[in-house]
Amino acid sequence: MSTELIKVTINEQEFEVEKGAKLIEVCREKGFGIPSFCYYGDLALQASCRMCLVRIEKMPKLQTSCTITCTDGMIVTTQSEEIEKAQRAMSEFLLANHPLDCPVCDRGGECELQEMVMDWGDLEERFVERKNAQPEKFLSPIVANDPQRCILCKRCTRVCDEWMGEEAIEAGNRGVNTVIGTYGGWLGCSQCGNCIEVCPTGTLLDGVYRHETRPWEMDQTRTTDVYSSDGMQLSIGSRGGEVHRIVARDRYVNGLNGEFLDVKARFAHGFINSKDRIKTPLIRYKKGGKLIPSTWDEAIHFVGSKLKESGNNVGVVASSRLTNESIFTLKRFATEAVNSNNYAVSDAYDLAPFFDNLSAPLCTHKEIRHAKTILLIGGEPEEEQTFTAKQIRQAVRNGGAKFIVVHDTPIRLAAQASQFIHVNKGSLDAFALAFADQSDATITKKLGAAQTEIDDLLKTIGETEGDFIIMFGGDLSAEAQAVLANVAGSFASDTRRALLHPLPLYNNSVGANDMMAGKKPLEEVLRTSKALLIAGSLPEDKTDLLANKDFVVVQELFETATTEYADVVLPAASFAEVDGTFTNNAGFVQRVRKAIEPIHQSKPDWVIASMIARELGADFGYNFSSTMVFKAIADSVPAYEGLRYPLLKDESKPVQAKYSPVAKRDLSNEFAALRRKVEALPETSEKITETPRVGHKLHRVTTMTGKTDQFHLLAAGNPKPENLLVSPLVQFNLDGTPRLVEMAEAASVNVKDRIDDKETVASKVVLK
């Protein structure tokens, strides 16, 4: 946007505004309220709600301010009798067929229609005719829909189209019968729920939070997502120690992701208050015995005495889902309490090669949105780093960015790509080598792609003016990652900035890598230690290694495969119950805030670790406050130097950890190893031609997501019930098989049971 200033007169006051600014934004910024429904800053213009009408001199009719770009000398009136009449008329029209069932509507209390009508509407209702009644129904286990409440602002369809690229919902029918509908009447999308978020009325509703409480009853806590590494900012709505819902609504939180969240971040919060949470410390006094509930004092004492026996053969494993504070304390536990260098992170994807060879700055999500060229090697952001995927989509769609995908699978995002290099199965390493070392043309044979494709790619990069971003995921080998991270910096030029973006799997993978400097590979730690302190669970294929250990302590939320080997299980607090920080894949250090008190007797992981440490005679100097832990982090981790909680307070201005690009290292060993790996690849290999199913990773049932029933249905293929009026959760077992009795019962639920105006039983209403 140009910085040229022009003069605009609004309500007889003159303002200087940037050229090309939208009139509605300018008016709102200058303090002249303008109501609107269909206008949404990030989406395509619609101009259909007609609420934002203003009078502009020299224009014949009232104009929609959302579609007007400011021009020099424009004279605008936003408040006059004529405009007020128009605004009142529009809100009257909108309310004409809108049911006044606010008491049962889950949006009541934070509904934009309510607010607009209160502020701009008429007191009196002249509409005395019968409303067009339609029943409330389900579009999926997660999305409920009340078409009658719809004001057809089409934010949902635009979000689905522009943010998610899924086009799962669209308007059907015409005129007053227009409804927001789906193809086949059932949502088969990734269930991100962004349509629910942007809906200004109660038309699209959260099926997980359905009829649980009301917005003003809840405490809203700003915090960070616990699933994806994008570090999306969200707001936890809790009431009386119970988490009811998670939203990113901009009235509660204003993070880097705006109102964007994905299905896990938004809906998979059932684990927090799950009845399966471990309630008290559990001790297995005898190997092969039962876990017996105990007290904290006894458990800590027991752990202390057993660990003393093991001396410095104690290994410490931290999950990369934990906060920086917890991981840092666990590392200190290893080095200071048990004097051991055996510490590791239980992450399948080690980021050390990436950060050790960082030759270019980390890119932020905003930079992805405005990038000129994006190169994605492996990974599947639309399933794992959903916000990154959204930014890529918008960069391509709205910013005209070139997007190049190198992948062995035609992932969904590849449909947006300007160039898709489809390589052989498992040969991404070969691409990394070919990309870093362009001298060797024989590699392309292993790749299954023509040399011209790589030439085209390099040409595109060479022509880029602006930001060039390389992203890659954990499906490359460590050597390949090191090589790619190292080579990225060499693409920078005077007109081009090269940026790197990792695609880690967990919310705090980056932080775990920072906190556990000098960590060892997970397997090595598991093999060499006699006793283990494990925070979080191990990947299931690694749990066998825990057999025959002298002593295993596990800090967990739930009983998992790992706790089966544990001698002591200590109840840990979930992310909603602790204060701390997560570091996302853009290096932003963002706050995690305590929304509810720890459930049952659970404690934050860092408190547990420091309690055990004190039992062993090591005092870390912090007992109660995570602020002190973070100060200790800032003092000892270089990238976090100078950071304090108050600096991280404002989620709209996230603070990036200071990762300095390292000098180019000699990577001949890595190159050699990579070359060996590539040479071992088969010459010919069949390509994967099938695009993976939507949600094949997002909808996976894990220890955490599995506590939200809806995810079981999604994982079971999201079956469509006979009667859409009743939640599919009632009609199906969790494995997706029909519950015949309940289904028959649900079949007796008719339209009359689901509409507010009981007299208007629209026999004509047909469910689509």
Partner 1 sequence: MEIKAIGCEPLQLKRVGMKDSHTLKVYQETGGYESLKKAMNMTQDDIINEVKASALRGRGGAGFPTGMKWSFVPRQSPKQKYIVCNADESEPGTFKDRYLLELDPHSLIEGMLIAAFALGSQACYIYYRGEYRYLIDIMDKAIEEARAANLVGKNILGSDFSCEVYTHTGAGAYICGEETALLSSLEGYRGHPRMKPPFPAIEGLYASPTVVNNVETLTSVPQIIEMGGEAWKKLGTEKSGGTKLWSVSGHVKKPGVYELPMGYADMEKFIMEDCGGMRRPDKKLKAVIPGGSSVYIMNAEQIIGKNVTLDYEGLVEAGSMVGSGGFIVMDETVDVVESTKNLTEFYKHESCGWCTPCREGTDWLVKIFNRISIGEGRPEDAQLLLDICDNIEGKSFCPLGDAAAWPIQSAVKRFPEDFKKWLLNKTNDNGYTANV
Partner 2 sequence: MSIITDVIQSTVAVIKGMRRTLAEIPREKWTVQYPDDPITVQPRYRGMHLLHVDENGKEKCVACYLCAAACPSDCIYIEAEDDPRPYEQRVGRDERFAKVYNIDYNRCIFCGFCVEACPKDAITHGYNFEISVYNRSDLLKTKNDLLITKQKQSKNYRVALSSEDVDSEYKEV
Residues that bind partner 2 (CB under 8 A): 102-104, 108, 136, 210-214, 216-217, 725-727, 730, 745-746, 748-750, 752-754, 756
Q: Choose the stretch contacting partner 1; rule: CB under 8 A; options: 49-57, 403-411, 435-443, 487-495.
A: 49-57
Site string for partner 1, 18-47 (x = CB under 8 A): ---------------------------x-x
Q: How far is the CB of 576 from partner 2 (least distance, A)?
A: 20
Nearest alpha-carbon partner for 420 in 448, 440, 390, 385: 448
Instruction: Considering the complex, state which of residue 215 and residue 504 has its C-beta at the smaller distance from partner 2.
Output: 215
Exposure letters 146-160 (e unless 16+ CB within 10 A, then b) = bbbbbbbbbbbbbbb
Residue 451, interface with partner 1 (CB under 8 A)? no
Burial class (CB in 10 A: 0-12, 13-18, 19+), 654: buried
Q: Is 152 in the site for partner 1 (CB under 8 A)?
A: yes
Cβ atoms of 705 and 264 within 8 Å: the answer is yes
* Strand partners for 237: 220, 245
- Residue from the set 129, 541, 690, 735 that interacts with partner 1 by CB under 8 A: 129
Q: Which does 151 bind (CB under 5 to 8 A by kind): partner 2, partner 1, none?
A: partner 1
CA angle, residues 80, 82, 84, in degrees to nearest 5 = 70
Report residue 660: phi and psi, to 5°.
-95, 135
User: Residue 160: enclosing H or E segment and its boundaries?
Assistant: helix 155-162
**Closest to partner 2 by CB, 104 or 415:** 104
Least distance from partner 1 to the Cβ atom of residue 89, Å: 3
Taking the complex as a whole, how short is the minimal distance between the CB of residue 707 and partner 2, in angstroms?
19
- Cα-flanking dihedrals φ and ψ of residue 618, to 5°? -110, 125
Cβ atoms 372, 401 nearer than 8 A: yes
Alpha carbon 137 to chain centroid, angstroms: 27
Please name the amino acid found at residue 520.
K
- Please count the helices (runs of H) and the strands (runs of E) in the chain: 24, 28
Q: How far is the CB of 31 from partner 2 (least distance, A)?
A: 30
Q: Per-residue x/- mask for partner 1, residues 595 to 624, rule CB under 8 A?
A: ------------------------------
Decide whether 6 or 730 has the Cβ nearer to partner 2.
730
Smallest distance, partner 1 to C-beta of residue 51, A: 8
178 touches partner 1 (CB under 8 A):
yes
In the bound state with partner 1, the residue whose beta carbon lies nearer, of 93 and 645, is 93
Separation between Cα atoms, residue 375 and residue 360, nearest integer Å = 14
488 binds, among partner 2, partner 1, none (CB under 5 to 8 A by kind): none
- Taking CB under 8 A as the binding criterion, the range among 83-91, 321-329, 510-518, 576-584 that sits at the site for partner 1 is 83-91
In this chain, which of 15, 18, 56, 67 binds partner 1, going by CB under 8 A?
A: 67
d(CA 182, CA 401): 30
Token pair listed for 196: 């629910």
Number of residues interacting with partner 1: please give it, by CB under 8 A.
33
Nearest-10 Cα torsion for 169, 170, 174, 178: 30
48 binds, options partner 2, partner 1, none, Cβ within 5 to 8 A by partner type: partner 1
Contact pick of 97, 148, 191, 326 for partner 1 (by CB under 8 A): 97
171's contact among partner 1, partner 2, none, with CB below 5 to 8 A by partner kind, is partner 1
Rounded Cα–Cα distance for residues 47 and 158 (Å): 13
At 243, which amino acid appears?
V
- Residue carrying structure tokens 């992170």: 345
Least distance (Å) from partner 2 to the CB of residue 141?
A: 13
Which entry of partner 2, partner 1, none binds 103, CB below 5 to 8 A by partner kind? partner 2
Pair 253, 535: CB distance under 8 Å: no
Q: Are strands 282-283 and 292-293 parallel, antiparallel or unpaired?
A: antiparallel
Query: Which of 34, 43, 52, 90 forms a contact with partner 1 (CB under 8 A)?
Result: 90
Q: In the complex, what is the shortest distance from the CB of residue 225 to partner 2, in angstroms, rounded to a whole number?
A: 26
Q: Which stretch binds partner 1 (CB under 8 A): 140-148, 167-175, 502-510, 587-595?
A: 167-175
The option from partner 1, partner 2, none interacting with 368 (CB < 5 to 8 A, set by class) reads none
Least distance CB 171 / partner 1 (angstroms): 7
Is residue 130 at the binding interface for partner 1, with CB under 8 A as the rule? Answer: yes
290 interface partner picked from partner 1, partner 2, none, CB below 5 to 8 A per type: none
Nearer to partner 1, 67 or 685 (CB): 67
User: Does residue 349 sit in helix, strand or coil?
Assistant: coil
- 721: helix, strand or coil: coil
The tokens for 134 are 């339609």
Query: Which of partner 2, partner 1, none binds 174 (CB below 5-8 Å, type-dependent)?
Result: partner 1
553's tokens:
């302590």
Q: Which entry of partner 1, partner 2, none binds 749, CB below 5 to 8 A by partner kind?
A: partner 2
Phi, psi dihedral angles at 415 (to 5 degrees):
-65, -25
Question: Based on CB atoms, which residue is closest to partner 1, 47 or 762?
Answer: 47
Residues 6+ apart with CB under 8 A from 562: 534, 537, 538, 543, 546, 554, 556
Q: What is the largest CA-CA distance in the chain?
A: 88
- For partner 2, the closer of residues 126 and 758 by Cβ is 758
Binding partner selected for residue 130 from partner 2, partner 1, none, CB under the kind-specific 5 to 8 Å limit: partner 1
* Contact status, residue 594 vs residue 576, Cβ threshold 8 Å: yes
Q: Which does 614 bind (CB under 5 to 8 A by kind): partner 2, partner 1, none?
A: none
In Å, what is the CA distance from 197 to each residue of 46, 160, 355, 592? 18, 11, 35, 21
Return the one option of partner 2, partner 1, none that residue 596 interacts with (CB less than 5 to 8 A, by type).
Answer: none
Nearest Cα residue to 233 out of 252, 205, 211: 252
Stretch that binds partner 1, among 85-93, 229-237, 579-587, 644-652 (CB under 8 A): 85-93
The residue written with tokens 């119970």 in the block is: 242
Radius of gyration, CA atoms only, the chain:
28
Q: Which residues pair with 404 in a beta bridge?
A: 375, 419
Residues 312 and 340: beta-carbon distance below 8 Å: yes
Q: How far apart are CA 304 and CA 533, in angstroms?
A: 11
Nearest CA to 296 out of 319, 308, 279 is that of 279
Closest separation in Å from C-beta 756 to partner 2? 8
Minimum CB distance to partner 2 smaller for 722 or for 753: 753
Closest approach, Cβ 765 to partner 1, in A, equals 16
Look at residue 214 and give the partner it binds from partner 1, partner 2, none, a contact being a CB closer than 5 to 8 Å depending on partner kind: partner 2
Q: Which three-class secondary structure state does DSSP give residue 600?
A: coil
Q: Would you say 19 or 306 has its CB closer to partner 1? A: 19
Residue numbers of the site for partner 1 (CB under 8 A)?
45, 47-51, 53, 61-62, 67, 85-86, 89-90, 92-94, 96-97, 126-127, 129-130, 132, 151-152, 171, 173-178
